């Protein structure tokens, strides 16, 4: 009898664990579906202290876990190869920006950017989840999310 109970408990443990396979991270904010009118304000290079004066405002909107992920994946050093390329001709850049607008993107936060005591424009943080964009370009893949920082005036919410 003890053997049967032990086997049952082991089987139960395996079946419960099989159902709790972790999926992609879920964050407190789904975000608002959007498109980009002008990619020219996209932040390409981010310095270490870039978010020092705005961190609290951003964390209050998206939480600390996503803030940490966003910091690592919001500039060219955190994007997969092919999401950004410098040195394109004007014609190629227009075509590439059009292709970027095929991505499913979400505005997850907006804030007034401050750096070294100076106040800059209103910016938005844009989340681009791989799972919703895996067919965008089969040669370009990334894990989880990538992020873009853009001026608020350069985006448009999709209703």
Sketch the domain layout of the chain as residue ranges. 28-157
Question: What is the per-residue DSSP string for 77-102?
Answer: TTSPTTS--SS--HHHHHHHHHHHTT
Q: Which residue has the tokens 């690592």?
A: 72
Distance in angstroms (rounded) separating the CA atoms of residues 54 and 116:
11
- pLDDT band of residue 15 (cuts 50, 70, 90) is very low
Pairing verdict, β 155-157 and 145-151:
unpaired
Q: What is the pTM of this model?
A: 0.81
User: 55-62 and 64-72 are packed helices; what angle lies between their axes, rounded to 10 degrees?
Assistant: 120
| CA distances from residue 101 to 20, 76, 128, 133 in whole angstroms, order as listed | 35, 17, 11, 11
- pLDDT value of residue 48: 80
């Amino acid at each position: 009898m003890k053997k049967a109970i032990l086997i049952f408990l082991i089987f139960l443990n395996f079946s419960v664990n099989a159902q709790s396979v972790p999926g992609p991270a879920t964050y407190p904010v789904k975000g608002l579906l959007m498109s980009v009118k002008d990619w020219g304000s996209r932040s390409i290079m981010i310095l270490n202290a870039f978010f020092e004066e705005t961190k609290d405002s951003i964390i209050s909107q998206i939480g600390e876990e996503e803030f940490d992920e966003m910091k690592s994946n919001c500039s060219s050093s955190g994007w997969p190869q092919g999401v950004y390329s410098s040195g394109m001709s004007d014609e190629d850049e227009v075509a590439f920006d059009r292709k970027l607008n095929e991505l499913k993107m979400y505005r997850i936060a907006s804030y007034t950017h401050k750096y070294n005591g100076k106040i800059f424009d209103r910016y938005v943080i844009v989340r681009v989840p791989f799972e919703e964009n895996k067919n965008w370009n089969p040669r370009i893949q990334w894990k989880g999310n990538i992020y873009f920082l853009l001026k608020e005036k350069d985006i448009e919410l999709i209703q």
